[in-house]
């Protein structure tokens, strides 16, 4: 197991380096000089030169590249051009809100999606399966900002069950939960739709396997065969897919945060876009990519943990 972990860790390094390189390239191909963008068109050449020096833009490109890679790998994602604060500090301040939302929506997605997928697979082509498939297709088709606005209209404005403003007081658990329900449902339902589909098709494959028949033949109750033997094997692709979903989840959480006016990474990134805060964008993109590479790694490791055969491959 240890060797497997080390091998996976080593394999993630080139990907991470390549991703960081791409971030660097994307930010560099921006038309216009960031120094001019910060100071405005009427800045004196001296001021522009000073700003270029401060941002390290007067160095040759390869030196900038090495600087960027070195800093990123040491966990230094730079400082915001607008506020002058370290990017990690701004990100850290909203992190609890983002974590709340991510974890809660993953819970909603799994708790709704996995049972729905299993039940649908067990009743293939019957009404319950058709309904589950239809609902998951509708769920997948809702852009989250549309479902978010609809949720807001229904549950916050029409029935007044939940608050509209989402800036939760972190020290007050009731308030924190109250303001989490609608955003977490919005994100979670989309995710549940996705998980239902994957669980269903994965379960359908497993149901036809020999070991399922064997377990049943030796007298294990059908319920237990399905949930223990079946789900355990069907769970593997589900884990992978949930891991791959993280990229979509990031985009969706940005939209959810905007709709429910929650503090979070999404609001920071939109603010940075509006203010043309290039260093902030570069830092955020780096953090997101780190996150995705790490999640992919964890997914791979979980895979190895659930299925011992993977380790040998």
Partner 1 sequence: MRRFVKRMMANPTTSIGVVLCALIVLAAVLAPYISPFDPLDQNIIDKLKPPSTTYWLGTDAYGRDVLSRVLWGARISLVVSVASIGAALLVGGAIGMVSGYVGGRVDLFIMQVMDVLLSFPSLILGLIVVALLGPELVNLIFAISLTAVAPFARIARAPVLSLKERAFVEAGRALGFSHIRVLFVHILPNILSEVLVMASLWMATAVRTEASLSFIGLGVKPPIATWGGMMRDGFDAILDAPWLSIFPGIAILMLVLGLNMVGDGLRDATDPKLSGS
Does residue 299 interact with partner 1 by CB under 8 A?
no
Could you tell me the smallest distance in angstroms from the CB atom of residue 258 to partner 1?
A: 7
Could you tell me the smallest distance in angstroms from the CB atom of residue 158 to partner 1?
A: 8
Could you tell me the smallest distance in angstroms from the CB atom of residue 5 to partner 1?
A: 20
Stretch binding partner 1 (CB under 8 A), from 89-97, 104-112, 210-218, 277-285: 277-285
Which residues 131-160 are close enough to bind partner 1 by CB under 8 A? 133-134, 137-138, 140-146, 149-150, 152-153, 157
Euclidean distance between the first and final Cα of the chain, in Å?
Answer: 12
Distances (CA, A) of 187 to 19, 65, 249, 255: 27, 37, 8, 9
Does residue 99 interact with partner 1 by CB under 8 A?
no
Which residues 56-85 are close enough to bind partner 1 by CB under 8 A? none
Closest by Cα among 75, 47, 34 to 286 = 75
Does residue 194 interact with partner 1 by CB under 8 A?
no
Binding mask 220-249 for partner 1 (x = CB under 8 A): --------------------------xxx-
Could you tell me the smallest distance in angstroms from the CB atom of residue 172 to partner 1?
A: 26
Residue 187: φ, ψ to 5°: -70, -40
Closest by Cα among 135, 256, 124 to 187 = 256
Does residue 35 interact with partner 1 by CB under 8 A?
no
Q: Which residue in the set 270, 298, 305, 310 belongs to the binding site for partner 1 (CB under 8 A)? A: 270
Does residue 208 interact with partner 1 by CB under 8 A?
no
Q: Which residue in the set 281, 283, 286, 300 belongs to the binding site for partner 1 (CB under 8 A)? A: 281
8 A C-beta contact, residue 101 and residue 262 = yes
8 A C-beta contact, residue 228 and residue 295 = no
Q: Which residue in the set 101, 189, 226, 254 belongs to the binding site for partner 1 (CB under 8 A)? A: 254
Q: Which residue in the set 6, 9, 22, 161 belongs to the binding site for partner 1 (CB under 8 A)? A: 22
Hey, how many other C-beta atoms are within 10 angstroms of the C-beta on 254?
19
How far is the C-alpha of 271 from the C-alpha of 180, rounded, in Å?
Answer: 22
- By the 10 Å C-beta count (0-12 exposed, 13-18 middle, 19+ buried), 245 is classed as buried
Torsion of CA 45, 282, 83, 167, to 10 degrees: 150
Could you tell me the smallest distance in angstroms from the CB atom of residue 290 to partner 1?
A: 10
Hey, how many other C-beta atoms are within 10 angstroms of the C-beta on 78?
20
Q: Which residue in the set 293, 298, 301, 305 belongs to the binding site for partner 1 (CB under 8 A)? A: 293
Closest by Cα among 114, 140, 275, 271 to 195 = 114
Does residue 9 interact with partner 1 by CB under 8 A?
no
Does residue 102 interact with partner 1 by CB under 8 A?
no
8 A C-beta contact, residue 280 and residue 81 = yes
Map tokens 């916050």 to a residue: 156
Q: Closer to partner 1 at the Cβ: 111 or 137?
A: 137
8 A C-beta contact, residue 151 and residue 135 = no
Could you tell me the smallest distance in angstroms from the CB atom of residue 137 to partner 1?
A: 6
Contact positions toward partner 1, by CB under 8 A? 14-15, 18-19, 22, 26, 30-31, 124-125, 129, 133-134, 137-138, 140-146, 149-150, 152-153, 157, 200-201, 204, 246-248, 250-252, 254-255, 258-259, 269-270, 273, 281, 284-285, 288-289, 292-293, 296
């Amino acid at each position: 197991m240890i060797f497997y972990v080390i091998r996976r860790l080593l394999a993630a390094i080139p990907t991470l380096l390549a991703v960081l390189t791409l971030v660097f390239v994307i930010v560099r191909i921006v038309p216009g000089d960031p120094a001019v963008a910060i100071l405005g068109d009427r800045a004196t050449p001296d001021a522009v030169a000073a700003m270029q020096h401060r941002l390290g833009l007067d160095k040759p490109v390869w030196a900038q590249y090495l600087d960027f890679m070195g800093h990123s790998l040491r966990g230094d994602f730079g400082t915001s051009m607008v506020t002058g604060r370290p990017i990690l500090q701004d990100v850290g301040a909203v992190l609890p809100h983002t974590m709340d939302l991510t974890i809660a929506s993953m819970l909603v997605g799994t708790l709704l999606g996995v049972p729905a997928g299993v039940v649908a697979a067990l009743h293939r082509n019957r009404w319950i399966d058709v309904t589950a498939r239809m609902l998951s297709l509708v769920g997948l088709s809702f852009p989250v900002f549309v479902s978010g606005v609809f949720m807001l209209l229904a549950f916050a404005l029409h029935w007044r069950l939940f608050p509209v403003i989402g800036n939760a007081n972190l020290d007050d658990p009731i308030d924190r939960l109250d303001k989490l329900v609608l955003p977490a449902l919005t994100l979670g339902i989309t995710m549940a739709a996705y998980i239902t589909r994957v669980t269903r098709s994965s379960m359908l494959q497993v149901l036809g396997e020999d070991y399922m028949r064997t377990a049943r033949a030796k007298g294990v109750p059908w319920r237990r065969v399905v949930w223990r033997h079946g789900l355990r094997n069907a769970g593997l692709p589900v884990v992978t897919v949930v891991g791959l979903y993280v990229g979509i989840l990031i985009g969706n959480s940005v939209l959810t945060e905007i709709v429910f006016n929650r503090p979070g990474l999404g609001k920071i990134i939109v603010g940075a876009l509006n203010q043309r805060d290039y260093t902030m964008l570069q830092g955020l993109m780096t953090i997101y990519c780190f996150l995705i590479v790490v999640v992919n790694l964890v997914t791979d490791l979980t895979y190895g943990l659930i299925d011992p055969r993977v380790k040998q491959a």
